[in-house]
Amino acid sequence: MEVKTRELDDIIIFDIKGNIRRHGEHAVPLYPLVKDKLEAGKRNLLLNLSGINDIDSFGIGELLSCFKLTTSAGGKLKIINVPQKIRILFRVTMIEKIFEIYDDEVKAINSFS
């Protein structure tokens, strides 16, 4: 998994590519990245999943842990551009009832206002 970070005003956007899984040579936990931004005072976080190929139960747990950490810090964590394959999994696991999920980055950004 590869994560690139962008900042737009007071919003941090994580562009994620690859697989969100426990195992693999390129496994990068999201939790420490989110925690670093929260500790730096950033409270509006957006996960761009357009480049995700696969996610396992560890990945689902990682997303939930990031959500809990962010809301506990008084922030908001939202998701954009979920691939269809992953969206089905989100529906089955009911993740879509927890996160605000958008198909459009501009609408997601505007939702923080």
| Number of domains the chain contains | 1
Q: Yes or no: say if 101 and 90 are a contact pair by the CB < 8 Å rule.
A: yes
Closest C-alpha to 111, from 81, 76, 83, 87:
76
C-alpha 106/C-alpha 64 separation (Å) is: 24
C-alpha 1/C-alpha 87 separation (Å) is: 18
Average pLDDT, the chain: 91
Per the DSSP assignment, residues forming a β-bridge with 94 are none
Q: How confident is the model at residue 104 (pLDDT cuts 50, 70, 90)?
A: very high
> Which residue range is the domain that position 41 belongs to?
2-110
Q: Which residue has the higher pLDDT, 78 or 58?
A: 78
Q: Would you state the pLDDT for residue 108?
A: 97
Closest C-alpha to 95, from 47, 54, 55, 63:
63
Can you give the CATH number for the domain in which 87 is found? 3.30.750.24
Q: Which residue has the higher pLDDT, 7 or 22?
A: 7
Q: How confident is the model at residue 20 (pLDDT cuts 50, 70, 90)?
A: confident
Q: Yes or no: say if 79 and 46 are a contact pair by the CB < 8 Å rule.
A: yes
Q: Would you state the pLDDT for residue 28?
A: 60
Q: Does the pTM of the predicted model rise above 0.85? A: yes
